[in-house]
Structures are given as structure tokens and as C-alpha cells.
Structure 1
């Protein structure tokens, strides 16, 4: 089976893809393109999957950089192969031949590019990272490498949609405490529950940074088990583990 990367016109000048679970070598609950070494999947199978992604981007596996994601607001520069992944949730590079890969399973994968400056970025933006500023940190690191904010484009890939993201009042309280206007990203649900619009919040954060060309691909990870892994869906189905999707971009 061939890979099924989702691409976006804003990133057309870069090799990129929000890769689905199709085209991978994993089986069981990881069936498909599981790219997460942090899962309990066989490491050699995950490596095969990641090699297929690297090949699709036109780079060697060693050039597909990643970070040890911790739901932080930290972004780091990359200028060569990463042998010991730093703890962070975003990467930027201006080095030709390097691909940046972010893993998600409901959180937002965000790919960035300033095609004029030759600078790219990739961020893992779950609710905590997005609230704490990981997207702004990514843009700031890109600027340090020569990017100009007015030229940066950013695309949010498959993530959990508002319809499938139920949260409690204490979750909403954290956002409202940060900014009362953030209440608009929540719809009242059953009893004391709310539905949180993560991609709308991500787009708001990107827009507030001054980025003018931004988009969400419109895909919900929870709602399409045939195409996407989903942490929340795996919990609801009482599965032992879950696969990780990869979103990647290369210069």
C-alpha cells in the first residue's frame, strides 16, 4: 500500500506531508504507518515506517529530525542529523537536506515555511503547548534564522475536532484565566462538560502572531479511524496503546 500524505497549497514550495496511517508496516492497534518510537510497537517496524516517510520527502532516514516531545513551549534549531533528541516540541532549520518530523495522535501538527528565506519549522501543539506559546516560540526561532514573519506560512494538519473534544470545567478555566476572550473556543456540552475547538484556537494563535497565510487541513483524527491514529479514541475503545502520526517538512 502506498503512503497517503495530506498536502496543502500554502506549503507547495516545500517537500511536506501530514502523513496518515496508510502505507505502513505496523500491525494490530498500530496497523499502518506508526512512526512513534515511544509506542510499544516493534522498533524495527517503526524504523521502516519512518524510512518510508523520509524517502517520500527525498531525504535519508538520518536526516529526518525529531524531538523528545513533552508538551512544552520550547522550540530548538536543527542544523544536522539529530542523534540524541532534545526535549522540546518544535524545531526549525535553514539547512538544506534536513526534514523536520513531528508526532501527533490528536494534538495539532503545525508545519511552517518562509520560502523566500529558506527556513522551515514544525511544531507539536496540543492544548497545553498552544496555550503556553509553542507556536510563537517556533516563529521566533525561525526569525533568528532569517525568516520574516510577514512571509511565514503555517498549516495545521489533522487534529481532533471540537465535536469530539469533550473537556471539563477545570480545563476551560485555564484558558479563561489566561484570557477571558478564549471562552469563545468552548461550546457548552452535557451537564458540566464543554467542547473545545483546538484547531480554531491554533489558528487564532497563529493569526495573533501576525501570520497572514494560515490554514487547517480540516481533518479530524478522532472521527476517521481508517486514516488516522487517535489517542482519545484509543482510550474510549480501551486499547492497550496507539499509533503516532507524523507530519514532516523538508528544505
Structure 2
């Protein structure tokens, strides 16, 4: 299969080992696209103010890395929900409001966008079912990962056969939150106090979202991996909403994480 040499996606050792030749995946960085300025260069965010033609070309390049046309790259209108959509051979480019996708159809590339939130890619290689989820704090707290697993089971996956990997996302050392944020989590589960550590700012805390996310994946009964790549400080490779906010920039790009079942 020919890949665009300009694209440099990061791959999960766990997904690689489990998936073999049956599953293909990549956590794409901001490198290898055509966008300029704040969006340089592989911005795939249709919701950004980037030139639309550039965003579509970037998406085409991602699909081509999987050996597929743009029309086979399935994404959703992400709204920080726990909602999952099932994609099949009838997929025609629609982008429903949801934050995760699952499929058992070979050749459809499932993609989720992120710029600090956690992209999770799932695979059950034996039963040839894959999933992708966008897990920000709200999605992680209210069950987007668990719902993705349930949607995969409905397609014939087996819980013991599912592996998942959390890709580049904001790390605890970069994510300061206020007291009302902490209170929301503790009201859901007092045990979540272990994901917060006091920050230098009175009443505030540093929040380890990746630790919470991987903890919930493991508690859901699957094998999970965290690539432990922090989007906030790594401006060369990753877009970051929080970094953009701190720098008072006008807008930000989004990177994509994607997975597909290979066509036999």
C-alpha cells in the first residue's frame, strides 16, 4: 500500500501487535498537510476558520494513507457527548452530532478530531470490529468510552478481545482547573480525587484526564494503553486549544486519529 511520505502518524504498539495486518491505524500529527499560519499544516477541522479547500485536501491525504478516497473517511460533528454512531457500507458522508464511531465494514476509515481532548482508538482484530472516540473531560466523565465498547459488542466484538489506546492529549501537568470543576467530578465519584493534585494557584488543581480515561477503559474490562504524549507543550507536532487560549490566538487547528479494518 502506498502512503503519503509527508504524513507521519504515530502508531500504538498495542494496536499494532494485536491488529497485525487486519487493522490499520494512526494518530496523525499536524505535519504533512497544506494549511498555513495558525493551521499549519495538517488541520482537518471543518469547524475551524481555515480555508475549506485546505481542510478537505488534508482529510483526503489522511484517507489516502489508508488507501481510501476522501468519501470513505467517516467523522462526526463532535459535541462532547457520550453518544456513538454505527457506520456501515451505506455511509455517504453524513456527520451526525456524536463523539464516537464504530464499524465492522472493511475500508471505512473512522476518524476523531482533537486539540487536547483524548482520541481513543479501539480494535477487536479477531472479530474485525473497530471504534474511535473523542474523550474530553465531559465525554470521559459521562461514558463515551464505555458506550463505544458497548456499540462494538453489538457488532459482534468480544470484550476480552478489545484493545484500546489513548493518543496525544493534554497531560495532568498542563491542565489546571478550578474548584467548581473538581467538585463536579467528586460529586460523581469521590474516588476521582486521586486524579487531581493541588496547583500553585489557591483553590485550583491539576487534572490528569489521561489517567482517568485509561482507568475507565481498564475498569470496562478491556486492555488499554496510553501513549503519554502531551499536546500542550509540543507545538511542533500538535494543535492545542488550551495553548491557543493562553497565547490569545484567534483560532486553532485539529489533528485526527483514525482506524480502519483492512479490505481482504
Please indicate the TM-score interval, normalised by the length of the shorter structure.
over 0.9
1:161–1:198 contact (8 Å) kept in structure 2? yes
Q: Which of residues 133, 137, 145 in structure 1 aligns to 2:143? A: 133
What is aligned with 1:229? Answer: 239
What is aligned with 1:201? Answer: 212
What is aligned with 1:79? Answer: 88
1:1-251 to structure 2, matched below 5 A, reads: 2-12=6-16, 13=19, 14-80=23-89, 81-190=91-200, 191-211=202-222, 213-251=223-261
CA distance in 1, matches of 2:39, 2:92: 25
1:100–1:121 contact (8 Å) kept in structure 2? yes
CA distance in 2, matches of 1:129, 1:139: 14
1:156–1:216 contact (8 Å) kept in structure 2? yes
Partner of 2:130: helix, strand, or coil? strand
Partner of 1:16: helix, strand, or coil? strand
The CA deviation at 1:82 is 3.9
**1:14-62 alpha-carbon deviations (Å, 9 max, x no partner):** 2110000011100010011000000000110001101111111121110
Deviating runs (4+, > 3 A) in structure 1?
A: none
**Count of equivalent residues:** 250
CA distance in 1, matches of 2:10, 2:40: 18
**1:201-220 alpha-carbon deviations (Å, 9 max, x no partner):** 00011011011x21111110
- Stretches of structure 2 lacking an aligned partner (at least 5 in a row): none
Please give the TM-score of this superposition, normalised by the length of structure 1: 0.98
Please give the TM-score of this superposition, normalised by the length of structure 2: 0.93
1:89–1:134 contact (8 Å) kept in structure 2? yes
**1:70-123 alpha-carbon deviations (Å, 9 max, x no partner):** 000001100033422111000000001101000000000000000000000000
- Stretches of structure 1 lacking an aligned partner (at least 5 in a row): none
CA distance in 1, matches of 2:146, 2:67: 28
Partner of 1:76: helix, strand, or coil? strand
CA distance in 2, matches of 1:46, 1:16: 20
Bigger mean CA offset, 97-106 vs 82-91: 82-91
